Amino acid sequence: MEEVPHDCPGADSAQAGRGASCQGCPNQRLCASGAGATPDPAIEEIKEKMKTVKHKILVLSGKGGVGKSTFSAHLAHGLAEDENTQIALLDIDICGPSIPKIMGLEGEQYVEDNLGVMSVGFLLSSPDDAVIWRGPKKNGMIKQFLRDVDWGEVDYLIVDTPPGTSDEHLSVVQYLATARIDGAVLITTPQEVSLQDVRKEINFCRKVKLPIIGVVENMSGFICPKCKKESQIFPPTTGGAELMCQDLEVPLLGRVPLDPLIGKNCDKGQSFFTDAPDSPATLAYRSIIQRIQEFCDLRQSKEENLINS
């Protein structure tokens, strides 16, 4: 298994736990104590817990405000429309936990019988409470979420992440490494300022050997509700996600246009699909969700073939 802090000296090196890049790593104490080859026991415990979780999908970006939480929430809603499918949505954005609001939850954890949510937002007593934590404490919370929550039988676990390529991302990949993540969905807007961060995120995924399901281009065009003509609020000055995906050889799962009803529904904590079933944005979402399901099913059958052969 690859350990992933950038410049990690290696768990069995003389510098293990002592290097500058070891600071904040969940294994630091273990490495420094000389128990170099022993990984964090939590990783095994998490692997056990995750045995009842069929598919794990990370929603990443690199860039903030592109619609990761909006997408995660609607991916969850879309998959949960099949009552026989159990969905869990985990929000590991510890500083800015948006999922409770978008899902319309104050403290209760179930949106539907088959759609459960976990977020640090539920643990905060006031909407003004700030979670001012440094990296190691955030890592501890993520470990707790993965190890101590009773996930039960889940078909899809969707993990919504904060922007960036830092503690939270390293931790969730490390803790889930042996539990097998199906892959990552990366969200971007058409702007270069977003693409430049998403390219870094793609490189991060490759570095930590996280499969990439594909890229979603969000806020891709705006249709005026009055005159119905299309404008580009966020012009794709460098070719948008399409060109980036071609260059980096990752699939473009789809483009979601801007629909003011999306923002309104997120503010009200409702599913946008229910409010605007015929919106081009809804149709785009549904097509993307289907492609994600196909990816997960294909991965599952490939693994089953490997086991049976």
Partner 1 sequence: MEAAAEPGNLAGIRHIILVLSGKGGVGKSTISTELALALRHAGKKVGILDVDLCGPSIPRMFGAQGKAVHQCDRGWAPVFLDREQSISLMSVGFLLEKPDEAVVWRGPKKNALIKQFVSDVAWGELDYLVVDTPPGTSDEHMAAIEALRAYQPLGALVVTTPQAVSVGDVRRELTFCRKTGLRVMGVVENMSGFTCPHCTECTSVFSRGGGEELARLAGVPFLGSVPLDPELMRSLEEGHDFIREFPGSPTFTALISIAQKILDVTPACLP
In the complex, which residues of this chain contact partner 1 (CB under 8 A)? 4-6, 20-21, 23-25, 62-66, 69, 95-96, 98, 101-102, 127-136, 138, 162-167, 169-170, 191-193, 196-197, 199-204, 207, 222, 224-227, 229, 231-235, 237-238, 258, 260, 263-264, 266-267
The dihedral sign for the CA sequence 267, 269, 128, 97: negative
Of 114 and 188, the one with the shorter C-beta distance to partner 1 is 188
Is 221 assigned to a binding site? Answer: no
Of 238 and 290, the one with the shorter C-beta distance to partner 1 is 238
**Number of neighbours of residue 149 by Cβ within 10 angstroms:** 14
**Number of neighbours of residue 60 by Cβ within 10 angstroms:** 27
Of 113 and 225, the one with the shorter C-beta distance to partner 1 is 225
Of 11 and 296, the one with the shorter C-beta distance to partner 1 is 11
* Amino acid, single-letter form, for residue 262: I
| Backbone dihedral angles phi then psi of residue 112, each to the nearest 5 degrees | -130, 175
Of 14 and 130, the one with the shorter C-beta distance to partner 1 is 130
Is 95 assigned to a binding site? Answer: no
| Backbone dihedral angles phi then psi of residue 159, each to the nearest 5 degrees | -110, 115
Is 31 assigned to a binding site? Answer: yes
Of 95 and 298, the one with the shorter C-beta distance to partner 1 is 95
**CA 2 vs CA 32, 130, 169, 173, 210: distances in Å:** 18, 34, 15, 10, 11
- Rounded Cα gap, residues 26 and 135, in angstroms: 10
Q: How far is the CB of 227 from partner 1 (least distance, A)?
A: 4
Q: How far is the CB of 86 from partner 1 (least distance, A)?
A: 26
Q: How far is the CB of 201 from partner 1 (least distance, A)?
A: 7
Q: How far is the CB of 298 from partner 1 (least distance, A)?
A: 27
Q: How far is the CB of 138 from partner 1 (least distance, A)?
A: 7
Q: How far is the CB of 8 from partner 1 (least distance, A)?
A: 10
Is 64 assigned to a binding site? Answer: yes
Is 104 assigned to a binding site? Answer: no
Is 152 assigned to a binding site? Answer: no
Axis crossing angle, helix 41-49 with helix 167-176, rounded to the nearest 10 = 70
The dihedral sign for the CA sequence 146, 94, 196, 213: positive
Q: Is 24 left (phi over 0), alpha (psi -120 to 50) or beta?
A: left
Is 245 assigned to a binding site? Answer: no
Binding-site sequence positions for [4Fe-4S] cluster: 8, 22, 25, 31, 224, 227
Binding-site sequence positions for ATP: 62-69
Binding-site sequence positions: 8, 22, 25, 31, 62-69, 224, 227
